Amino acid sequence: MIDFTLTSEQQNLRERTRAFVTDKIIPYEGDIRATAHGPTDELRQELNELARQAGLFGPHIPKNWNGMGLNHTDMAIVFEAAGYSPLGPIALHCAAPDEGNMNLLVKVATPEQKDIYLRPLAAGETRSCFTMTEPNGAGSDPTMLETKAIPEGNHFVINGRKWLITGAEGAAFTIIMAQVPDGYGMQSGPTMFLAPMASEGIRIERNLETMDSSFTGGHGEVVFENLRVSADHVLGEVGEAFRYVQVRLAPARLTHCMRWLGSAERAHDIAKNYASRRRAFGKILGEHEGVGFMLADNAIDLQQSRLMVWWTARELDCGSKARHESSMTKVAVSEALFRVADRCVQILGGLGMTEDTVVNQIFREIRGFRIYDGPSEVHRWAIAKRILKSH
């Protein structure tokens, strides 16, 4: 029998995380260091210290790397509670792209690479970025990689342009996706490389102006010009990047769902409170059927999203790669949570258009969720392919 009852430990974890975010983190939402390109590193480190003091730092990080070592199901509970504020995941050090990069490094990196890159990242001393998306190449279709890594002795020379690279500004290192061409007497194909962002040959050309503002470092356009990377900085094996991408992306799709679920719940709570006290046409707003139905639909979408997240988390905890499940959940949850955020703006009316509440920001942030880590259309296409293949 399926039981959705949280254990006493899980209930305590959720309440402790929610109380921490409400009492300690939400007051920082008006801080001037929460900029249009995300919280500054100074603010991030200050919030990290608060999370350490609360015993909530690094819920996804294995215990041997000084994290909480939670499984995916427990992560779902904590990440949702953290997402109640846009600054919550930053504080707990479980925001994208660092959370996904840490997961990848734990599973794929060599001991030497872990010591150089994972150790300071897991400790919150540094940030990272993942450079895959290209303005005219790889995006929804990663097979379109235009960035090339040419073997040259014991090195690879990388040239290419990436954009929408979350956290590039201020990142200590990057994980680069590049194509190793045929004809060099070695394995070819898409390959991952590790490189310090301060390396000669890496240039951040600009920071893009985007709808969202919760990711530290914003979203940059990064150029590689004759970047030399030694062979011992290949992450995994040459030509196997797409296999490693799935190691990173399937869980990362789900953790996005967890975090934004918390944000959508926050927006719903604000709209619910407003609808219970604002009066119009002789009664409180929520008693008007049109508004009451929106609140009801929000509650339905939130609970359906939560159950789908828990279902996929359990699949991952049972050892499944959960590619099919994570795609289904990514589509369903990203679209449901956007509906929630949209209804909240509508319920708030003119107030929803202002920055007097965090609903304005949540609406803008959640809209992007339907695009990154695979647009809904691409996931539907992949889901349909699997359905037909199994038939």
Residues written for the chain: 391
Contact yes or no for 330/339 (Cβ under 8 A): no
Q: Which two tokens stand for residue 252?
A: 């990362």
Instruction: Determine the pLDDT at residue 159.
Output: 98
Instruction: Determine the pLDDT at residue 89.
Output: 98
Scanning 318-375, the segments in alpha helix (DSSP H) are: 323-348, 350-353, 359-369
Instruction: Determine the pLDDT at residue 1.
Output: 47
Please list, in sequence order, all residues whose beta carbon lies within 8 angstroms of the beta carbon of residue 230, skipping any fewer than 6 positions away.
154, 155
Could you give all domains of the chain from N- to C-terminal order, each with its CATH number? 8-95 (1.10.540.10), 128-239 (2.40.110.10), 242-390 (1.20.140.10)
Note down pLDDT in tens along the chain; length 391 residues: 478 899 999 999 999 999 999 999 999 999 999 999 999 999 999 999 999 999 999 999 999 999 999 999 999 999 999 999 999 999 999 999 999 999 999 999 999 999 999 999 999 999 999 999 999 999 989 899 999 999 999 999 999 999 999 999 999 999 999 999 999 989 999 999 999 999 999 999 999 999 999 999 999 999 999 999 999 999 999 999 999 988 888 899 999 999 999 999 999 999 999 999 999 999 999 999 999 999 999 999 999 999 999 999 999 999 999 999 999 999 999 999 999 999 999 999 999 999 999 999 999 999 999 999 999 999 999 999 999 998 7
Instruction: Determine the pLDDT at residue 343.
Output: 98
Q: Which two tokens stand for residue 223?
A: 């150029």
Scanning the structure block, which residue is given the tokens 């970047």? 227
Backbone angles phi and psi of 194, in degrees to 5: -105, 135
Residue 314: Cβ within 10 Å count: 17
